[in-house]
Structure 1
Amino acid sequence: MVTVIHQAAVNIPDLDDGFRLKARTMLTVAIPMMYEQFTAHLDVASMRADGFGSVITYAGFRRFPVPLPVSATLSVDVLTRQVELSGRGLGQRSSRLGFECEYTFRCRPGTGDPSRYRESISDTEVVCGQVRLLLTTIRRDGAPGSRVVGAPLPQTRHMDVHVLPDPHPSVADLAPVDGEMIAEGERSGVFGRQHTDTGQIVFTGEYLALLEDHLSGLAADAGLPISAGDAGRIAVVFREAFRAGDRFTLRGQLWRDGDRHTALIGIHAAGAERPHIFGRLHT
């Protein structure tokens, strides 16, 4: 297990109009830190040469109702550890190796006043956001059903393996919801090269942006105030990646339970019933 503290600056596009840290900002900050930790503690080049890699298969976000000042400094506590993802431990047919990366964002609180957007009200940092990423280690060119890695690789044997207390979340884990469905809708699109990264697939943050944007549309369709489309908690399962040129369909439902709202949204390949990406967003 590796624990470090990083710092990053807060800029105007990083905050919403309530001066809260955006989920997509947290992801943009977290991913370079993730690669930095992997490069520092693993022989990534050797893993890739042997045909192995790790891909993000789950992301969880929590945003706190804390206004931040522009130009402040984010302190980010980073925890990285190798994990067994099934929750059953090593040596089982279901064993899956990967990594868990946790990020806790702290910052001095701001005024929340647009005319005093650079001012803070305290020098004491408070928690303003959290991110949890799960990565699955895979054989990049493995045949379907044989891509999962069930035991530590030579490049990762120096790291302890922590067994997750709960198995890696699935679409079924994210799907249950209580209350009344108040909106439902879908829209289609196509991914372009502007959505991709150097991994030759669509960047993780593009999926997050689609999910948040679709939540806003569902809230508007239900006649709710825009605040009902502002997610404080987000959980996303990534089953399969998209590439430039792939067509997709967003299918979502918005549910109301008292004064809380939950959206279930899938990003489907054109004509596919099961989603490639599935998100649960709570307001």
Structure 2
Amino acid sequence: MPSLARKTIAVTLLTAGSFACYWTYLTVNQERLLFDARRRPPRDLPDGIVAYSHTVPGGLFRGYVYHADHVGVRDLLFYLPGRGEDVLDTLQFVKWLPAGMGFATFDYRGLGHSDGMPSEAAAVADASQFLLHIRRAFPGVRVHVVGRSLGTGVAIQLADLQDFESLQLITPYDSLLEIVGKRFPLVPLRQLMRHHFDSISHCKKVVQSTKVLLAESDDVVPHACSERLIAAWPGPVALQTIAGTDHFSIVERPETWHALCEFARQVPHHPPERVRKTPPEDHTETGVPLPLPAAR
């Protein structure tokens, strides 16, 4: 065999092997990469916040509730965080909530102080079970689901499992598969990715009043992705762009929180005949304040 042919074959095999190793790495670690899964050291909860938990494979799922005393609470924002978001930091922004507005959020499995392995199905199931707890703990309080970035895909699927007063999406995408595909153009993601977060398909069943908040500049979720989702929406969508923000800073601005609360309070009350959907329950809930775990 000529020397050039042998070199060509060797380079081809080396390139193919490199791609195979890279694809294998992405496949094996995709949950950690997609969710930016990282545990965080134990911290004291901010004032006015109490903890919630239910059991999951590998330990406990943990959530956090503001205004758990229920005093004067008429509406509550149920916040589904973005990729790798430290929700204990996000809780500092409850200072911008008006009187009578409660707040609840959580760590996805494997993130923050929640145990277990993150996944699309687990995120939806945990959010649904926590929302059931909120409904029981806050009878008569109107719940408004807010998803941010990665959490918008969870929020849209949650709308098909349970009824709530409104749905608000901060920097939403049409499909996570499309977002990731732009970053990894040479990877067969449709075959390798187990978590597609196909919001453009799931949104067709949404009946809740909906608002979308966009950052003025967004290099993570391009406006075109959000616009494709809005175009596929089955009903009207209120749209607002928060000036001077990007994908990360939008949640740090008081204008964002004021916009969320204003829309929530303007949503009409549901008519009494509207029936709430009931999702399957597959975990054991404790729903009581618990100390955060020691770092592992």
Judging by fraction of residues, say which structure has more strand. 1
Judging by fraction of residues, say which structure has more helix. 2
Q: TM-score, normalised by structure 1?
A: 0.29
Larger Cα Rg: Structure 1 or Structure 2? 2
Q: TM-score, normalised by structure 2?
A: 0.28
